[in-house]
Structures are given as structure tokens and as C-alpha cells.
Amino acid sequence: MNNSIKTFVLLAAFVALFMLIGGLIGGVKGMLFAGLFAGVMNFFAYWYSDKMVLSMYNAQEVGPHNAADLYVLVQNLAARANLPMPRVYVINQPQPNAFATGRNPQNAAVAFTVGIISLLDEKELEGVIAHELSHILHRDILLSTVSATIAGAISALAGVAMWFGVRDSDGRRNWVASILIGIFAPMAASVIQLAISRSREYMADASAAQLTYNPLALASALTKIENNARGIVFTTAEEHPATAQMMIINPLHSNSNNADNLFSTHPTTANRISRLQDISRQMNLK
């Protein structure tokens, strides 16, 4: 299934789950309350998440005066993608990784660890930069905020169900249904949210391949990152695991399985590489 269509289907499933649980608990008023509650929580995150994340990772902004090679690569690819030049940051962590943040292309930033800069050659680093710029181009930060808002609303409704109960058609509280909703609704919301995240990673990979016209360079970069990240602890990511889904590869553990896991933030590296190899063949590249 096309990743854009898959994302739309998953968002539709999110909304359907939200409406179902809201209707069971409190009807329209219950849904509106949960939506407002989650929206307020995520409004601040949407506007200030870039500053928060960059601060917690102690990211240092760089420019052509102190990181010329990296800055020029970002500048050239941003121009090729018809994007405003994002702010560029370096994180003093040895684990190779990178992420993009910012509420829109005009207020975006890309960050790279010293580990990834020293590990990759120029073409591989271009592939990583193009991947992160693709997240900005497709407004994936906004999408992740929307999915987090709906997931938060579902969790809030599930909490209400656990405390106050779901009523049957005759008005009596059904505590079995309440407990089941309280346990499984947040789990279902998490599964859908993570599926959206994995789908966007595939899309960013494909977009990066088109932008650089070198999908195998990104495949090579992912291989190097995966192999070198296994034995290196990313301290800040361990302290803030919710930020793991932002990274180009999950910084908390290696995805070594052959199939994408329902509860994983990223597709397996092997599957991503396989898709990039398919794209290379479609481009008639060797």
C-alpha cells in the first residue's frame, strides 16, 4: 500500500477508535472534552517542541564558519528540495544518529551527532540529510503532533472509562467493558501511532532517494548506523525515550528482526535497505 494512503487509513482508524470510545463513555460531550484536553497538552509541544528537544540534547547550532562541510551539504539539499534553509545543530554524542524538528519548513532544524558526522562519507551523509529534510518537506512533525493529540485523547477517555465506567443501553455501568477499554484502548492507540511513524520513515527514505538520486548511499548509511549504534549508549535518548521516534534509527535498541514490530518506532533497518535497493533497481542504478 502507498505510504500516503496507509497514513490516511491509519489516521482514519485513529479517529474511528476515538469516536467509538467517546461514544461509549460520554457521547459527543465526552469526545469533545477528551479532544480539547489532549489538544491543549499538545499545543505547547507543537509550538515549542524544537526548542525543548534541542535543549534537552544540548545541541549546538553551527554554521559555515565552524561546520562548513555539513552546513553546505544541508544548504545544497535544502535548495534542491525547494525548502527554506533549516537551522543546523551538532550534538556531542558518539552514537551515530540524526533528527529533524520544527513546526513547519520555515521554523525547522536538523541535528546530527558527532558520531554520525565522523562515521559516514559525504554521499552517505547526504542521504541522511535528505531523509531528515524529507520529514520537514512532508510536515511529519505536524503529523506526529496530530497523532499524539488523538492518542492522548483516547488515553484520556480510557482513563475516564476506568474511573467512572461505561454504561449499558439500560443505564447500568458495565465494569467489565470499562476495564477492557481502559487497558486495550491506549494500547490500540499506541499501535496506530507507531504504525504512522514507521510509514513516514519509509516515505522519508523514498523521498531522500529521489532527492539525491542515490538510494544506495542512504542504504549504506543505514547499515553503518545500525552496526555502529548497537554498542554505544545514547545517554540523552535513554533519559527521554519519547524522543526516540524522531531519530533516523531507534537510538534505544537495534531493530534486528526481519519483520516490523507493532510496537517499534521504526521499520527494521533490513526492510528499509531492501526497499531502497528496490528503488535503485527502478531507477536503473547499479
Show which residues are catalytic: 132
**172 φ, ψ (degrees, to nearest 5):** -85, 150
How far apart, in whole angstroms, are the C-alpha atoms of residue 89 and residue 100? 10
Name which of 148, 137, 240 is nearest 197 in CA terms: 148
In terms of phi and psi (left: phi > 0; alpha: psi -120 to 50; beta: otherwise), the region of 171 is: left
Say how far apart CA 155 and CA 22 lie, in whole Å. 11
Cα separations in angstroms, 143 against 3, 71, 195, 247: 13, 27, 12, 16
CA distances in angstroms from 42 to 52, 73, 103, 263, listed in the order given: 13, 33, 12, 22
**Do the Cβ atoms of 94 and 119 come closer than 8 Å?**
no
